[in-house]
Every structure is written in C-alpha cells, then in structure tokens.
C-alpha cells in the first residue's frame, strides 16, 4: 500500500471526491471555498470552477454538466461556461442550514442531506432530487448529513449523521428511491474525537468511511465488522472514492481549516487530496444524474 499526495490546492474544506469513468477525471470540491476542482488520476490538468455559495456535494449529469448542492439548494452547473442555474431550494425556511454530502443511485436519483452550519441543532434532512427535478424528504432531525452510499445490489442504503458517531443502514427501494427500516450498521471508535464523514462501498460490498478529526479510514464488512484501518498523514480526512483506470485507487480529501474553533488543527499537508494505491480492492463506477 502506498499513500501519496495527488493535489495540494489547499481547499478550506476539501470534500466529495468523484471519479468519472467516462472521461477518467477526478472531481472534488472545496465546500467553504466555494470551488469545484477536476484533474487526472495523477493530479494533472487541474481545472477549477467557482460557485455562488458554499457547496456540499456535486454529481455529473447524463446529458452533460453537473448538479451542485449549494447553501440555497440544488443548482445546475455548466462545466463549459461555469454558469449556474438555480433548480430548487428544499429548505427555504431554514437559513441556518446548507446542503452537504450527496451521491447518485443506480436509477439516476441524487440523494443529498443538509446540515446545521453551526453543527449543533438537528435541523437537517435527507433529500432526494429525482430526474424530473422534483425533491422529496426522506429523513429529518439530522445535525450533519454525511456518507450516503449503496450496497452493490442497491438494496441497502448507508447514511450517517456524523454527530451520532454511527453509520446507519436502510432498506432501499430501487423502484421508488424510498428508504425504510433504519438500523445501526457500524460505530466508529471515538477515542480520538473523530466522527464518520464521507463513505463509499467497494466491489466486494465493504464500506470505507473517512473518520474526520481522527485521521483514519475504516473498512467495514457487510455485517459491520472492522476489516481494515488506514492511518493517514492528516487528521482531518473528509471523504473517499475509488477511481483510476481500473478503479483500484482510493482518493481521499481533507480540510485545511476546521469549520469551528473547537476542532483540532493539522500539519503541513492539511487540505491535500491523497491517493492510496496497492489496496488490492476495486470500487464501482458512480452513476450520473438522469435529469
């Protein structure tokens, strides 16, 4: 196994790595710096887009361009011009919230949660943006939405409120995009003050979770047992995604500056995006939004 720095553009809050199998490019975001980045698997051909407000997640569209989850809801992003177009704000009555982590299911729906920007009150929800651009609430009473991903068969949906310290599993209805039967899947150790953040599921059905403020990445088997632990060069790791030509590289984002004063600082590599090679594991292609 080898950990190396892919890019060191110092995002305030690096998040949301997304590998596009069609173009063989990695996308990642700076949530608080309001930027989207794209590069090759070796960190070359770096390009950046500025968006109007804080960004929690992005996904690519089947017809071209992207959807970005911003403070005031979902926007379309034209990757050629950089222009954005507002689609819908699912929480116009909650100015203290912003959209956070999100991913696309196999049917092309975008599931994205919101969070309290003060990271204190359970004012967040989990939302589903359908291809017809309608929006639907799936879960509520969340402080900080993170880590949405699915089992390889699409029948189990994983999601966490980071402040619970626990990753939850739900039954997922692939026909409707509805969730049911919430249960505890796995709890991350808290002896370092960490919390589960971004996550992905590999081709073997194991879940990889970035433990933010802890500096470790955990791999859980489908029954929730810890299978592997990777120590990272920084403590504030935020999210993970498989990519590369063979989907066998794990890309890892981190934050340069903690969002609140109570969180710890980090070393000179803070904010870097890393790549981990030689894991002997492959991921799965991320679907594009069908709308």
Using an 8 Å Cβ cutoff, are 124 and 113 in contact?
yes
Using an 8 Å Cβ cutoff, are 266 and 236 in contact?
yes
d(CA 186, CA 169): 9
Q: Is 100 annotated as a binding residue?
A: yes
C-alpha closest to that of 286 among 79, 102, 77, 95: 102
Q: Which of 72, 101, 197, 266 is catalytic?
A: 197
Q: Given CA atoms 101, 114, 223, 151 in this order, what sign does their dihedral have? A: negative
Q: Is 15 annotated as a binding residue?
A: yes
197 flagged as catalytic: yes
C-alpha closest to that of 41 among 74, 69, 6: 6
Residue with tokens 């150790």: 189
Tell me whether strands 55-60 and 47-50 are parallel, antiparallel or unpaired: unpaired
For 175, other C-beta atoms within 10 Å of its C-beta total 7
Q: Is 132 annotated as a binding residue?
A: no
Cα angle at 224 between 219 and 226, to 5 degrees? 40
Q: Is 146 annotated as a binding residue?
A: yes
Q: What are 38-41's contacts with CB under 8 Å, separation 24+?
A: 39/6, 39/7, 41/243, 41/244, 41/245, 41/249, 41/275
Q: Is 191 annotated as a binding residue?
A: no
Annotated binding site for substrate: 98, 100
Catalytic residues: 197
Annotated binding site: 15, 98, 100, 146, 197
Annotated binding site for a divalent metal cation: 15, 146, 197
């Amino acid at each position: 196994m080898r950990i190396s720095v892919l890019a060191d553009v110092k995002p305030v809050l690096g998040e949301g790595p997304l590998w596009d199998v069609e173009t063989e490019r990695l996308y990642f975001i700076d949530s608080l710096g309001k930027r989207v980045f794209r590069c090759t698997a070796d960190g070359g051909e770096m390009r950046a887009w500025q968006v109007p407000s804080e960004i929690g997640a992005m996904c690519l569209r089947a017809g071209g361009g992207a959807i970005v989850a911003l403070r005031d809801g979902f926007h379309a992003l034209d990757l050629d011009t950089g222009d954005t177009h507002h689609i819908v704000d699912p929480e116009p009555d909650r100015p203290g919230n912003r959209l956070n982590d999100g991913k696309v299911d196999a049917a092309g729906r975008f599931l994205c949660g919101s969070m309290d920007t003060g990271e204190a009150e359970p004012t967040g929800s989990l939302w589903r943006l359908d291809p017809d651009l309608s929006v639907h609430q799936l879960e509520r009473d969340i402080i900080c939405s993170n880590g949405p991903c699915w089992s390889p068969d699409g029948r189990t949906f994983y999601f966490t409120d980071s402040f619970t310290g626990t990753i939850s599993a739900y039954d997922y209805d692939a026909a409707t995009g509805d969730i049911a039967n919430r249960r505890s899947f796995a709890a991350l150790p808290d002896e370092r003050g960490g919390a589960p953040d971004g996550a992905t599921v590999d081709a073997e059905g194991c879940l990889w979770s970035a433990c933010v403020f802890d500096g470790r990445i955990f791999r859980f088997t489908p029954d929730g047992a810890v299978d592997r632990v990777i120590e990272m060069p920084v403590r504030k790791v935020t999210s993970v995604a498989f990519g590369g030509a063979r989907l066998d590289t794990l890309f890892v984002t981190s934050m340069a500056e903690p969002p609140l004063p109570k969180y710890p600082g980090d070393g000179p590599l803070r904010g870097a995006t890393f790549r981990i090679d030689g894991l002997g594991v492959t991921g799965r292609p991320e679907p594009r939004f069908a709308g």
